[in-house]
Amino acid sequence: MCLTAIANLRQESVKDNSNRALFSKDREIIPYIDQYWEAMTTMPRRVTQSWYATVQRALIKDIQVLFTYEEDANQGPMFGLYNMELTAIKPNYEAMIKQGQLKVTDMGIATSK
């Protein structure tokens, strides 16, 4: 979800000609995920804000793999995409199958609900 959120924030910045590459976790990434939760996942929305810490861990865990990180004196920690090629972003079906979110059927890949 972090990857999708940052990619969409990046695309929006290209459209509005601000062409930003880095975004604030607290002011931009978390609000984006919160606003578009239902469009980004089939998992039920969490009732507590504990998922904020999960976002932080996900971003930090994959620095130099999926994300870039810079500390800005005025804006605090800023995150961006390690690979700026937005067309390369796609669902990770293998991980979703292993987690039990998807299953392979005769018809292809389906949700496991």
pLDDT digits (tens, 9 = 90+) for 8-64: 999 999 999 999 999 999 999 999 999 998 888 888 887 888 888 999 999 999 999
Mean pLDDT of all residues in the chain?
A: 88
Provide the pLDDT for residue 23. Answer: 98
2 burial (CB, 10 Å; 0-12 / 13-18 / 19+) is buried
Q: Which residues of 42-69 are buried (b: 16+ CB within 10 A; e: fewer)?
A: eeeeeeeeebeeebbeebeeeeeebbbb
Give the integer Cα–Cα distance in Å for 68 and 63: 5
Assign 100 to helix, strand or coil: coil
For the chain, domains (ranges, CATH) are: 2-111 (3.90.980.20)
pLDDT tens digits, 51-95: 889 999 999 999 999 999 999 999 989 999 999 888 877 766 677
Provide the pLDDT for residue 112. Answer: 72
pTM of this prediction exceeds 0.85: no
DSSP letter string, 18-62? -----EEIIIIIHHHHHHTHHHH-SSPPPSSTTHHHHHHHHHHHT
Instruction: Say how many CA atoms lie within 13 Å of 34 toward its Cβ.
Output: 13
